[in-house]
Structure 1
Amino acid sequence: MIRMSKKLKVLLIVAALSLVAAFIAVFIIANNFFMDRFPEQSTIIGGTEVSGMTVSEAVVAMNASEGLKMTVNKDGVEHNIPIASSVVRMFDGDQVRQAKKEISFFNYLFHTPVEHALHPESVNIDEKKLRQAIETTIPEPKYSTSDAYFDTDWNLIAEVQGDDINYDDFLKRVKYDIENGEELRYDASEFYFHPSVRAEDEDMQKIQEKVKKYKAMSITFTFGEKRNEVITSEMICSNLVLKNGKLKLKTGWVDDFVRRLEKKYNTLGSTRTFKTTMDGEKQVKGGTLGWWIDSEQTLSNLKKALKKMKAVTMKPVYKNKGATFGKKNDIGKSYVEVSIARQHVWVYVKGKLKLETDCVTGVPNKERMTHPGCHYIFAKQRDRFLGTMEVQGYHTHVDYFMPFNGGEGLHDAPWRGSFGGAIYKTGGSHGCVNLPSAKAAEIYDLVYVGMPVVVYD
């Protein structure tokens, strides 16, 4: 008979005990597997931890949404959000039992984690509580999403992609997943607001091109050689508006601009302070001379220029003109001066007296007077007849006629033997300024169409 060593006996006893322990463990695991209990570790069914529970215990826990949470990853940080108080679900025992049957024996044997989605039979979600739980857990955004836009100086500012969450869309997704038993794990970036308008959008690029043209343009109105009124690019851009994605230029300010030009430069009918040759300064009111801007046509031309979006220099359209754009008057330094009281005429060219002569003006009554005012020569005519016998009661030939106010004009009067003095009071003209023939010829050569004629008492 072979005797076993003491050491071998010990080894056999240890082996036997290990087999018994293993058998017991396998029996317990098999019992749980084949009976009605979930694995002991990391078993999540329908979002609820049910490790080691029986099916009936799991149903109670799941219906109470015990441990129900959602996980949100934002900027690499995971945020676990308990939502059990916001959700009431109902699961059927057969559903849960079926979920248990689908768990592998090896999950029991090797304690591997189990996570099983399960569609609840019914769900009641307190949206207000759910939203509050989510919003109070996830950190505030570092940057807010914003669309591309044009600033007050019409610079194109690019859009900003922020990290602000569209909670309306996010809540819809979470609700759907809860109702359908899906996994409640999310990446916050999938729910960020996104810019709806981007700088590289075709429409924004077209607007920017228009803005560049407006910024490069100006419109200069000239008034003589030294006086300008400029519509700057800043003025233009300050009246740009974006409406329904279209760049528009407001036009109300254009009307105001033309009205300001009228107020500043219109002189027709105004009273001028005129420095006479012999009698100091005189206040001369009215007359045919004077700047009068045609606002309607000027406005039309201005609007056309704005549409072209190019820098341009232009002049207003006038219904009537003055001689110059002086700061104090529009008469200038070349003019004909007529003193009714002195019955005398002076002719100045570029500030220098070129000629003077006595004259005879109209009889000082309403029908035949020579009207005071600042006028201008609007024609030069030779060898013509003045008046008709049927209307004026005379039909007189003159060699030189220089009209300045309707039918009133400078002309030769060869039928007169004398000029000056008080002749005009009873034997004056019908409104014209009668001149000696030789002087009329000289004056005719000195004056030009548009030259001012200043008549005063």
Structure 2
Amino acid sequence: MENKKLTWKHYLGIAVVAVLVIYFVIGFYFSKKFFWGTKINGMNVAGKTVDEVVEIFNKNASDYSLTIRERKGKTETLTSDQVKTKFEGADEIKQIKEDQGSFGWIKGLFGTEHYDNVTMYSYDTKSFNKAYKKLGAFNSKKMIKTANAKPVYKDGKFIIQKEEEGTELKEDIAAKKIGQAVKDGIPSISLDKENCYNNPEYTSKSDKLVSLTKEMNKKLKGSITYKFGKQVVVLDKNTYSSWLKTKKDYSGYKVDKNAMENWLLKFMYKYNTQYGWHKFKTHDGRTKKIYGGPYGWRISKDKEMASVKKMLKEGTTETREPYWREKAKVYDGVNGDIGDTYVEVDMGAQTVYYYKKGKLKFATACVTGKLTADRKTPECVAYILYKQPSATLSGQGYSSDVKYWMPFIGNVGFHSAPWRGSFGGSEYVSNGSHGCVNLPTSSAATLYKLVSQGDPVVTYY
């Protein structure tokens, strides 16, 4: 029997049959398994059955955790135990395999079998709400407030203080984003990238803020240096910079008139002495604190306010005393502003003393007001209002002609009292004057010659 030679056609037929056999064998292999190159939601499932893939996803659901990346480098975690995650895409995976069939496996060789929209997880809503609300990111007491960049005064000029991004959450948005991340089964989420935080409206780079800061620095020019007595008080940019208040939209600034007025009132309160407390060293070495009376220094609020406003507006610089509404003899002297020339009335001892340049020049007994509310001589620091050689003093139930009238507060003053037979002692307790300081005629004459208008008068018990 003669052997026949195989031609190319025979070989081609054998090859075709072999390929078909291999194709169908591989197709049979993939009849229940996913093709090569198959990825479901990013996971390679090639060669695995539906049950195997579902089992993997179920295990991933039970082991699932979500890392939450927050501002300030903080991270927190939600776990499956907390939110009760379950895999919900089993039917979709089964459908994918059914759609693949058995003999379309060759498509997998090209890596095109990717399925990225398969439903991943569900969670228990009640458990999820409880879990996310316990996160530190949602604790309002721990949130750092968001703050705009702003001009601040430092080292003699305004600079821009950088904004504070803060950690204030848009809580509803953050909860939705976290919930969706759990459903999608992704391993981590950045709350910042997901726009879950409130952000500053103005940053240090904002053109409006940069321009405003430059304008405010132009305002820091003027000053007033107050010099009086031993006192030196400087009002300059280190103080009034705090009066410059920016508008909310940084479109400009204005001078806070209340802040300016408060500064002036504190200045006046500290350095005014009229109607305030005076420390006084008595003739016998005691130190008395005496409150009230018209003697002393008093700053003119209206004039000073006008001057401060002008300085701020025009940038003027000046050195001067305050504008005084009332003046005393000295500011820092013996016994404060009382100085070393004054009349002292020790009403407890019923004695009047006159000191000149710190030395006692004259003393005399007296009778002061009766110790009743309507006749008591006031305890105060006053001054000689004027001198009059004679006067008629009258009031309810009396009228008296006196010599050497020297009033020092209202209608109360020194004068002669020729109707009295004695002075000093306890006469004033039950038989005192109507408030004036009664003196023997000769003593009144001497004191009249010694005192000058404006001399301080100190009365105390």
Give me the TM-score of the superposition, normalised by structure 2: 0.49
**Which structure has the larger Rg?**
1
TM-score normalized by structure 1? 0.50
